[in-house]
Amino acid sequence: MPVAAPYLDHPGPLAFAHRGGAAHNPENSWLAFEYAARLGYSYLETDARSTADGKLIAFHDADLGRVTDRGGQVRQLTWKEVSAARIGGSEEIPLLEDLLGSFPGLRFNIDLKDEGTIAPLAGVLERTAAWDRVCVSSFSGARLLAAQRSLHQPVCLAVTPAAIAAVRYLGFCGKGMARGLARCGAVCAQVPRQIATRGFIRRSHALGLDVHVWTLNTREEIERALDLGADGVMTDDVVLLRDILAERGQWHPRVPA
């Protein structure tokens, strides 16, 4: 399947608002996403979980308890039950489809958190015409590849954890791995700062992969990643990242339609 290249065509380094920008507003809330959009962010990072009746929500945890005023496993609750919870006691949990539809000019990095997200994903992308403005990632390689097989149009894909480990520990893996990554549509490696060494970034670039580093919330971490050649940074502190990129002449805010 060919790669949906438009996702990565924004001038870099790419600035991702992690969970919408959790340093300023409740994570994965409408307030967070709206604030990042007002700052000029083109890329919003979020998570996808599935409810018992197959709805995809923008929510990180398996259980509602840490960030909302209710408890319970998301996958065991219907959307009606989940929608009654409030993030931080006041903010609604967004449906992924509503987010994609409400910000048609923005690009989303979507981390699939459970197997129930795979089947509904294609329908969500179809209804929102969002194929070329999403990147799909997951900590589960099996889940990521299953999602890729379920989609009938190309999307941007992050590489699997196994591919990240191969690049990290085996060094440059040559043309064979490059061909394999191209066949599955993977175009970026999304990794924590400990993995994003100069060598890892160099080897990833040699394989045709962009490197996005998460989740960097201090000036030292952000500047180090940029100095090493990272192609994108994910942060909770969307003001700090914006300011650092502006100082370096690398802030490219979204131009409202």
212 is catalytic: no
Q: Report the amino acid identity of residue 65.
A: G
Strands (E), 51-144: 56-58, 86-87, 91-92, 107-112, 134-137
Compute the distance between CA of residue 74 and CA of residue 119 in angstroms, rounded to an integer: 16
Ramachandran region, residue 249 (left: φ > 0; alpha: ψ -120 to 50; beta: rest): left
Q: Are 50 and 10 in contact (CB under 8 A)?
A: no
Main-chain dihedrals φ then ψ at residue 70, nearest 5 degrees: -135, 170
205 is catalytic: no
Instruction: Provide the greatest CA pair distance for the chain.
Output: 51
Helix (H) or strand (E) holding 181, with range, is helix 174-184
Neighbours of 90 (CB within 10 A): 10
Which of 10, 24, 60, 205 is an active site residue? 60
Per the structure block, which two tokens stand in for 46?
């979020």
Compute the distance between CA of residue 217 and CA of residue 12 in angstroms, rounded to an integer: 19
Which of 18, 24, 212, 252 is an active site residue? 18
DSSP string for 36-57: HHHHT-SEEEEEEEE-TTS-EE
Catalytic residues: 18, 60
